Structure 1
Amino acid sequence: MSKRLFVFFLFLTLTACSKNGMVGEEPPKAMIQVGKETYETKLGSYCWSSNNQGKCVDTAGPVELLKGKNPIAIKPGKAVTFKVNYSPKPDEFDVIQFINNKDTIIPFDNGRFTAPTQKGIYYYSVIARWLDKKDKNISKGDASYVFALEVK
């Protein structure tokens, strides 16, 4: 497991969940959009608080979670938009790209990032955080969403 992923899981484990939790027993579904096409992501590790109960689930990383699934075919340099149909929207995001056992945080602006320009299969984890409005050190929920892109 990479150092960044370990720090994320440690953050999930140590961050207290607010008693004023979120709706639903687990984080909402998320999609990515490439052009006019939408694709589901797979829910990875998360901590979620609802009905005055907190729950944390730890999963394998993106490469292991997506074994046997076909990556999403994409042209080099295309815009990829991350969407969560849930209110409230997450307060913070990180996007981590995994390729050849190396992870890199990539720029994520206004829910978008740009696909690589070199051909290959790239794995991603988008980490979304819902924070308490009064105390930004309290998490109402955190989730990682994973998917793979194949630049052709």
Structure 2
Amino acid sequence: MKKWMFVLLIAISITLTGCGESDASSKLSGRKPPETVIQIGNETYPTKLGTYCWSTSNTSECVDTAGPEGLLEGKEPIVVPPGEEITFIMDYEPLPNEVHLAIYNGDKEKEVKVVNHRFTAPAEKGIYYYSYGVWWMDENEENVSNGDAFYAFALEVK
């Protein structure tokens, strides 16, 4: 089993236990997590929604999908120069209060630091797959998620 699948399965099991109703889940709206795009320069590019759990005051739903490489099979990666600054944009309130970004290159996986919704593309040429995980953690109950989503995208550093 690839390491990213193991991490995803852990995230799913944690999320399923914390995906119940609470007063805070009524702050979430919509049938599923919001769209997220990445901005590179003046251009925006969509990400692909993957696994998620979403709870509103009316419903709760958890969906399991393939990892980034599987979700993006047959899609062209976004071409960027080495070290390019990339920004995540999500037009939704409230914004998630926990985020994690993982980069995959072959069998290698690495956590990428995200600061102010931004990160930097790798310096080395190649194709990189990303999983951007976001959580709407309950403000009143520790370790309880009211919603989470994983978004996939790929960059080709040239």
Post-superposition Cα deviations, 1:24-61, rounded to whole Å, max 9, x if no partner, equal 11000000011111000000000001243210000000
Question: What corresponds to 1:39 in structure 2?
Answer: 45
State the shift of 1:140 in Å.
1.3
Question: Is the contact made by 1:72 and 1:150 (CA closer than 8 Å) also made in structure 2?
Answer: yes
Q: Once structures 1 and 2 are overlaid, which stretch shifts more, 129-138 or 89-98?
A: 129-138
Residue in structure 2 matched with residue 87 of structure 1 by the alignment = 93
8 Å Cα contact 1:18-1:132 kept in structure 2: no
Q: Hey, which of these two has a bigger chunk of strand by percent?
A: 1
Q: What is the aligned partner in structure 2 of residue 151 from structure 1?
A: 157
CA distance in 1, matches of 2:15, 2:141: 16
Amino acid at match of 1:40: P
Does residue 59 (structure 1) correspond to residue 65 (structure 2)? The answer is yes
Indicate if the aligned counterparts of 1:17 and 1:48 stay in contact, CA closer than 8 A: no
Deviation track 1:67-97 (CA, whole Å, cap 9, x = no partner) reads 0100000000001111111000110000010
AA aligned to 1:122 is Y
Q: How does 1:1-152 map to 2 (within 5 A)?
A: 1-2=2-3, 3-20=6-23, 21=25, 22-152=28-158
1:9, distance to aligned residue in structure 2 (A): 2.1
Q: What are the ranges of 5 or more consecutive residues in structure 1 without an aligned counterpart?
A: none
Residue identity matched to 2:89: K
* Sequence identity percentage: 45
Structure with bigger helix share is: 2
CA distance in 1, matches of 2:142, 2:38: 27
TM-score, normalised to structure 1, is 0.94
Contact 1:120 1:151 in 2 (8 A): yes
2: CA distance, partners of 1:10 / 1:100:
25
> Is the contact between residue 124 and residue 157 of structure 2 (CA under 8 Å) also seen in structure 1?
yes
Out of 2-11 and 93-102, give the one that drifted further. Answer: 2-11
| TM-score, scaled relative to structure 2 | 0.91
Alignment: residue pair count: 152
| RMSD after superposition | 1.3
Q: SS of the residue aligned with 1:118?
A: coil
